[in-house]
Amino acid sequence: MRPAWHALFAPLPDNAKVRRARVASDELAGKPESAAIAGWESVSVELSAGAAGLRHAMVTIDASGVPISAGDWVLYCSGKPVEYVHENVGGRIQPNGTFLGTRWRSVAVEVPGSDEPQTKETTQSEPTEEDIAGLMRVVRDLLSRAGRK
């Protein structure tokens, strides 16, 4: 059984460890090709529910601290035969605060005699208003935990 936090847009647990990382690697820092992303940072949380699955939430902020992209992903197993379900919503946060992105849901199923699951279905759709509101709650939570506004 998956924990409550292991669903798109669910509140993160209090003890979730936030990771901050520069977008430009050490090798690129200071080089002309990385000038456009100098000072950008990713703020993320990766959570494991063991065999029940994974969750990764992330926001990218520009050099001035403004969020410019965000995503929330979950991967879990369900059913018999075993199905692997991957759901995510991700995209760009526009300067006016609107969100342009995509919602994906992919399902793969274990096939006897095969080492790899076989794709059963992949669905792409526009995020709903509820999806966007949920993602923005996750963004605010991540930025708050990282000491950002």
User: If DSSP codes are grouped into helix, strand and coil, which group holds residue 143?
Assistant: helix
AA identity, residue 6: H
Tokens standing for 22?
């520069």
pLDDT digits (tens, 9 = 90+) for 16-28: 999 998 887 777 6
**What is residue 144's predicted lDDT score, i.e. its pLDDT?**
94
pLDDT digits (tens, 9 = 90+) for 83-97: 888 999 999 999 998
Estimate to the nearest angstrom the gap between the alpha carbon of 27 and the chain centroid: 25
The ranges assigned to domains in the chain are: 19-145
**What is residue 70's predicted lDDT score, i.e. its pLDDT?**
97
C-alpha–C-alpha distance, residues 93 and 135, integer Å: 11
pLDDT digits (tens, 9 = 90+) for 110-128: 888 888 878 888 999 999 9
Residue 32 pLDDT > 70: yes
